Structure 1
Amino acid sequence: MVKAIVLTQQEKKTIAEITSLDIANLPEGEVLVDVACSSLNYKDGLAVTGAGRVVTRFPMVPGIDCAGTVLESSDARYQPGDKVLLTGWGVGEGHWGGMAEKARFKADWLVPMPADCDEVKAMQIGTAGLTAMLCVDALVEGGVKPEDGPVLVTGASGGVGSVAVTLLAKLGYHVVASSGRVEQNGELLKSLGAAEVLDRSELDREARPLDKQLWAGLVDTVGNKVLATALSQMKYGAVAAACGLAGGFALPTTVMPFILRGVRLQGVDSVYCPFEQRKAAWDRVLALLPESFYQQACETIGLEQVPEYAANIIKGQVTGRVLVKL
Structure 2
Amino acid sequence: MTARVLVLAPTRRARTETFVRANLARLPFAVEACFGDEMPWSEPLKALYGLAVLTSKVCTRLGWLRLATLPTSIVAMLLVKRHRPDVVMVEFGFHAVRVMELARMGVPLAVHFRGADASAERYLKRLEPRYRRLFQLTSAVIVKNQTMRSRLISLGAQPAQLVISPSGADERRFQGATPASMPPRFLAVGRFVAKKGPLDTLEAFALLQGLTDHADACSLVMVGDGPLLSVVQDRAHQLGLEHLVEFPGVLSPDAVVQEMRRARVFVQHSRTAEDGDEEGCPVSVMEAQLCGLPVVATRHGGIPDVVVDQQTGRLVEEGDLWGMAEAMALLADRPELAAAWGAAGQRRTQARFTVKHHVDQITMLLNDLVDHRP
TM over 0.5: no
CA radius of gyration, larger in = 2
Higher helix share: 2
Higher strand share: 1
Tell me the TM-score normalized by structure 1.
0.30
